[in-house]
Amino acid sequence: MRSVLLGSTCWADVLTGLGVIDNGENRVRVKGHAVRLGLDCTHLKKLERPATPQDVFKEPMRPEMLRYAASALAMAWFSLRGCAVALPVEPQEYDLLVTTANGIQRVQVKTCASRNRHGRWNVGVGRRPYVLDKSAGKMPYDPDTLDLFFIVLGDGSIYVIPSSVLAGRVGIDAETYSPYRVGDASSLMR
Domain of 70, CATH number, reads 3.40.1350.10
DSSP helix/strand/coil, 57: coil
Q: How confident is the model at residue 54, as a pLDDT?
A: 64
Are 149 and 158 in contact, with CB atoms under 8 Å apart? no
Residues 105 and 124 placed together within one structural domain of the fold: yes
Angle in degrees, 0-180, between the axes of helices 11-18 and 24-36, rounded to the nearest 10: 90
Residues 123 and 48 placed together within one structural domain of the fold: no
Pairing of the two strands 181-184 and 171-173: unpaired
* Whole-prediction pTM: 0.71
Are 87 and 96 in contact, with CB atoms under 8 Å apart? yes
Residue 132 to residue 56: CA distance in whole angstroms: 44
Residues 40 and 95 placed together within one structural domain of the fold: no
Residues 24 and 40 placed together within one structural domain of the fold: yes
Helix (H) or strand (E) run with residue 159 in it: strand 157-162
Residue 8 to residue 6: CA distance in whole angstroms: 6
DSSP helix/strand/coil, 129: coil
Q: How confident is the model at residue 46, as a pLDDT?
A: 61
Q: How confident is the model at residue 44, as a pLDDT?
A: 83
Q: Domain total for the chain?
A: 2
Query: Residue 29's domain spans which residues?
Result: 2-56
Residues 8 and 93 placed together within one structural domain of the fold: no
Residues 99 and 185 placed together within one structural domain of the fold: yes
Q: How confident is the model at residue 41, as a pLDDT?
A: 87
Q: How confident is the model at residue 112, as a pLDDT?
A: 97
Looking from the CA of 19 toward its CB, the CA atoms found within 13 Å total 0
Residues of the chain with pLDDT below 50 are 47
Q: How confident is the model at residue 132, as a pLDDT?
A: 63
Q: Which amino acid is at 186?
A: S
